[in-house]
Structure 1
Amino acid sequence: MEDMLKCAKLFKEDLYKQLARIGKCLSSDKRLEILNVLSQSPRTVEKLAACTDMNIANVSRHLQVLLDAKLVKFTKKGTYAIYSLADPEIIDFLSSLWKISEKQIPDIGKMKDDFLNNLNDIHTLSMDEVKKKLDENSIILVDLRPKEEFETGHIQGAISMPMEDLDILMGELPEEAEVVAYCRGPFCVYSALATQKLQVEGFKAYRMEDGLNEWQEHFH
């Protein structure tokens, strides 16, 4: 019995050491940002660097840590390595992490509220409200993410209008259009900024706080 208890203790110690590999991997804000970007679509190192405002060397180092923890994988396309999440369940894990963090760390909610309070009359619609309006064909749903993310996957019925091209593309919208804007999810502020811009230009506009991943989870 003593030997069995000793084996069980060693097993437990080794198990928690392995689980801690994930925890240590997530201790970097930049690695969390990389995972969030990859939850939208696969990326090369160069494109990850552009998305996260890091240099290629730093991105490569963070990717190596994520690879060691089996959170990302890569495939070769010519001379390029294309990185993606190692498993779709990591999206669910990240979603749970965002929710727990916002619930348990009051500063996160305060930061979001302070940002939105600096914008004038920004109205937010829930996913259910947006779905209802889509079904009624009474809105234009605008996806503000980069084109490649939209092409990887988007909410059915949405049109691509990347944030960097908003000033040009909004001119193609019907003047009487009712517009709802969404981006990468709860921690992406582009939907609020785009909504304010659309309102200034005379559109009846709303933001949807959630993104594609939240939409797919909600309407699964």
Structure 2
Amino acid sequence: MQRFIIAAGLTLFTSLAVAAPDAFQASYTVTAKGLEMGVMTTSLRYNGNTYTYQKRTEANGLAALLSGDTLTERSTGKKNGEELIPAQYMHHHKNKKKDKKDEFSFVTPTQTSGTFNGTAYQLTVPDGTLDMATLELYLMDALAAGKPLNYHIVSRGKLQDYRLRNVGKETISVPAGEYDCEKVEVVHTDGERQTILWLAPKLNYAIVQVRHKEDGDTIETRLKQYQ
């Protein structure tokens, strides 16, 4: 199976302060070609001045029998007042044919050290750079506060720019119910992919739906339960 969910990003601007979201748990259905292929669970937890944001996707039904696909993504870090500061990140995609892992730590705010598919790397990055999981939490705050949606992230051993644009409002129905949403599109420079996210102000701008199109395939992740 393809990677289940595409997320959004982190700001390039001087002020990176973010209002930390409240702790939450959510579950999503993952569909491809109109068929349910898996379930994703997410949780944001706080323990004193630390946070853990984790997402785990597992194939189900026939997809589980054929691929045994699992994807675990986790970011841990510090909660400094209302600001979240990532410290460690892990992305692990495993199935019957492959086992790929991306892990890194922020040694300092401008230096990362990690391994991608067994190859070690170190990167010098701009202050305020985030990982692909924590950037979702920053996006929630950016929409609530009307901040720019331009970001730096570290992913797959590289420093990348991540840019999004707000393309309006839309009311959508998902398994969890009907929500008025902000509709945000990831700006892909290659023109061969399209990624759109719907985030609900009613749920503190949590992601309600993601639609990713690539190579003629469409993967949708839709909110099933939120608490």
In the superposition, the TM-score normalised over structure 1's length comes to 0.26
Give the number of the structure whose residues are more often helix, by fraction. 1
Larger RCO of the pair (alpha carbons < 8 Å, separation 6+): 2
In the superposition, the TM-score normalised over structure 2's length comes to 0.26
Select the structure of larger CA radius of gyration: 1
Give the number of the structure whose residues are more often strand, by fraction. 2
